[in-house]
Every structure is written in structure tokens, then in C-alpha cells.
Amino acid sequence: MRPNAARNKASIRNKIYRKLHWILFSKIKPGKWINFFYASYRHRNRKQAPDADQRTVYITQIPNEGAGIGHQIANFNGGYHYSMLFGIPFAYPGFRNKEWEHFLGFGEHEVSVEELKKQGYRMRKLPYFNESEKSLALIRQIIRSYAGEKIILNVELDQFYQKQYEVIPYIKRKFEEASARKEDRLIYQKDRVSMAVHIRRGDIVAAGETTAAQGMSKRWLSLDYFENIVRQVSEKIGDRLDIYLFSQGDKKDYQCFEKYGNVIYCFDMSDQDSFLHMVRADILVISKSSFSYKPALLADGIRICPPDFWHGYPESEKWIVADGEGRLSIINWLTDI
């Protein structure tokens, strides 16, 4: 079979699996009985030799290839987090998009799932779990049952991991040491203050703001919200401010920002260049979106974040949470930029 044909076949299988998975877990919502369908769960009571080494057991989380790159990075972060939590090695899962894989550099100098498979390792999927004491005890029991065997435990599809900021030291080091950093090019001016504003629109605006507010409220933020933030920052920074807008749509819809500083529309910038510029901005304003939250995890500058996001924010003076109207309770930090 040709490589492209093999990849297409695997992609079709993956799509079918995700569809069936969504029906089962979102619609039917099975109870704990579903655990018995997992070979890893049925294996949990196997007794291994007392001196069997658990470090032969790896853990990973395969990114959901049907999701956006921010979502896939969240999956990757989860796999690494669970490796640290359970004290077993992490197997790099790989990203299907090799351009993103090169850009992020997360797999460089890591043991990969594919390499382990060539060494005779087998994949076993873990049932869904949470971080309660009882649930974690079950996963540890499963890990112990495989001690000494060549096994890669794969965390279930989109197992949720809220506190993504816990893996910042690891993913930031990987990103900064990536070979792709030699290729980075920025359009920022060194003597100016760069403010990257990500306004999520493409996937939620098609039906109009009213529908978005009703059915997509977890993702929707109005232009007024962003304008309030930009106005407050502009009042502190003054004419040194450059406002870089990352969104979709017609530029005329965003002209309200032009009265607060020099606006650079980055609507035609590639996804990777957009991601990079969000990482490197002096100030990053994120949407309720994994695509701007993940650059915030890698950034060194100020991050201004929306309330009620599905991933957490660390306690840090560089992470500022606005209220629902875009008001900032503390903006004295701007004088240091």
C-alpha cells in the first residue's frame, strides 16, 4: 500500500472512531460498566513479580487529529502531565501535521511512540479517569499490572486536563530549543510596544452574533470586550503602542481599534506565524480559544485573559484576568513596559 493511501485509510478509521466515540460518550453517556471494554482495565488484577520495573511502561496521549492545533497541544500536554503524575516515562505521540511538529519542536530528543512500537511495544488504551484519589488509584493499579512489559498506555481521546499551565517549564523549554527557532521572523518593531490581540471569529461567527451568544457563549467575546482592553492599555502606553490584530473577516469591522494606536491587521498571516507573534508579543490578549491560550503558555510577556475559560491560569502578575466587560482591575504593570 502506498504511504498516502495508508495515511488516508488511517485517517478514515480515525474519523469513524471519533464519531462512534462521540455518540457513545456524549449521547449515551455510559456508566462505569464501560471500563470492562478496556483491555487495560481487565488486566488490572494481574500479579507481576515484586521486582518488576514499572519504568518499562510508557504513557502518552495521542492528539485528536480532527481538532485544531491548540486542542491537539492540550492533548499532548495532558500526556506529559500524566507521565509526571504517575512517575512513568512519557512517549512522544507525534502530530499528524509535520509542519506543526517541526515548528513546536516538542518531539525533538524524545522517545516516540513509533520508535517504541519498532522495539515491540504494544498500545493499550486507558479508561477515562479524573484526578480523584480513587480514580488515580485505579490507574496506578493498571500501571503496576503491566510492570516489566513493553506497554504504552494511551490516555483516552480528549481526556480533559484543566491546569495546562503546570507543564509550562517543559513545553517552553522544548519550544525555545527547537531547531525551528532558527527560522523565526518577526515583524515587531524593537522600539515599540507590541500588543497581539486574538479575536476568535472564524468558527463561531457564521450564524451571526445573536446565535453565537445563545449557542456559543463559552467561546464568544464581543468586540466591546476587546476594545475596552485596548483602550485601557492605550491610555497607559500612549503613542508607543502597536496593535496587532489576529482574526478573520473584513478589516472595516475592526476600525474601532484604530483610534487607540497603530493597528496592523494580521488576517493573512499563516497560522504558525500568528502563533509565533502571539508568543513573542509584549502584551497578548487571548480569546476563549486554545489557539491563543497555548501561545500564552509559551510567552514571556503580559497575558490578558478572559474570565471563565475552560483551562486554568497560574497565579502570576503576568497573567491578568479581565472581567466579562473587558475591564482590568490592575493596570499599573503597564508602566514597566
Return averaged pLDDT per consecutive 10 residues of the chain, 337 residues in all. 53 71 68 87 90 91 92 96 97 96 97 97 95 95 96 94 96 98 96 96 53 57 94 93 94 93 95 98 96 97 93 93 89 64
CATH code (residue 207): 3.40.50
Kindly state whether residues 168 and 200 are assigned to the same domain: no
The per-residue pLDDT for 295 is 98
pLDDT the model gives residue 212: 47
Same domain, residue pair 258 and 169: no
178 and 213 in a common domain: no
Residue 307 lies in a domain: yes
End-of-domain residue from the set 137, 163, 183: 183
Residue 76 in domain: yes
pTM above 0.85, yes or no: yes
Q: Is residue 23 part of a domain?
A: no
Which 3 state secondary structure label does DSSP give 181?
helix
Last residue of a domain, one of 131, 159, 183: 183
- Same domain as 125, residue 170: yes
Exposure pattern of 137-170 as b/e (b: 16+ CB <10 Å)? ebbbebbebbbebebbbbbbbbbebeebbbbbeb
206 and 165 housed in the same domain: no
Are residues 158 and 222 located together in one domain of the fold? no
Are residues 249 and 149 part of one domain? Answer: no
Question: Domain residues for 62?
Answer: 32-183
Of 141, 165, 183, the last residue of a domain is 183
Q: Are residues 92 and 178 in the same domain?
A: yes
Tell me what pLDDT residue 156 has: 93
100 and 169, same structural domain?
Answer: yes
Nearest-5° angle of CA 160, CA 172, CA 310?
25
